[in-house]
Amino acid sequence: MTENERAARQKKISHAIMWIVLLVLFICFIFPFFMVVINVFKTKGDIVKNPLSLVGAHGFTLANFPEAMKKMKFWTVFGNSLIITCCATVLTILVSSMASFVIVRNGNWKFCTFIFSLMIASMVIPFQVLMVPLVSVYGGILNVLNHRLTLILMHVGFSVSMAVFMFHGAIKTNIPVALEEAATIDGCTRWQTWWKVVFPLLKPTIATVGIINAMAYWNDYLLPSLVLTKKNLYTIPIATQAFYGTYSTDIGLVMAALLLAMLPILILYVFLQRYIVEGVASGAVKG
């Protein structure tokens, strides 16, 4: 066997191993979602008896959906989740992109460098460290809990550092200063330069930041459960707790609630997925 044949054989083996590993990982990730989909159309008894069967003994049923929607007050909690997710995502994108633009174009100003370094450092602080003092200050002292605006601003505050990091790399790498200089010559103000020239060129990064943060806000349970204690303000992840009883749990209703909670964010991901890899790559600073 020649050296070239040996190298080609090793390459084929490595590709085969890579595909096997990827397939195993894919199955591990998709299996929980598959279980939800096949069990949501079964009765509680069929789920407990044989959760892996495609169709239960009592056949195909849609009864779990209306019952789950009624018990969790779906349209109310859906509206709360939608308002909080959309507002927090838009604010995060606007604030972080503007902050990144200022930091990148004033890189020789030490204060901007300090702020950017502070943001990067804050990314390593886990939320659990701040959880108790956060609730104590905002609830016990300022008394501003149980408001959607409070939760929106908290989401933005915890997410803006990562978003600034991504926008910073995208602006520094992909937006030439010559474009901004040309806009200034044409009479654009600093605000107009950002809004009409820089911001439209950040579409891949905007889509990436948007989908990552929207998924995080929509699926978040811990922070909303600390901030929102009134039932009329519950988001979908909190409302799903209504199906977990002390002594029994209706698995069929839980599956229906989980599927209803997943569908909106899955639809958003399908529409924006082609931008995600492009946006992550555009945020990588070249040496």
- Confidence (pLDDT) at 285: 46
Q: Which of 240, 260, 253 is nearest to 43 (CA)?
A: 253
Residue 50 lies in a domain: no
Q: Is residue 89 pLDDT above 50, yes or no?
A: yes
Percentage with pLDDT > 70 across the chain: 93
* Digit-coded pLDDT (tens) for 228-267: 888 889 998 888 877 776 555 678 888 888 888 888 888 8
Residue 46 lies in a domain: no
111 with 24, same domain: the answer is no
Residue 55 lies in a domain: no
Rounded to 5 degrees, φ, ψ at 249 are: -135, 130
How far apart, in Å, are the Cα atoms of 281 and each of 174, 276, 286? 11, 9, 10
* Digit-coded pLDDT (tens) for 130-169: 888 888 888 777 888 888 999 999 999 999 999 999 999 8
24 with 72, same domain: the answer is no
Length of the chain (residues): 287
Residue 45 lies in a domain: no
Range of the domain at 21: 3-39
Per-residue b or e along 39-55, where b marks 16 or more CB atoms closer than 10 Å to that residue's CB = bbbbbbebbeeeeeeee
Tokens of 63: 């009864």
Q: Which amino acid is at 214?
A: A
Residue 72 lies in a domain: yes
What CATH number should be reported for the domain holding residue 144?
1.10.3720.10
**How many domains in the chain?**
2
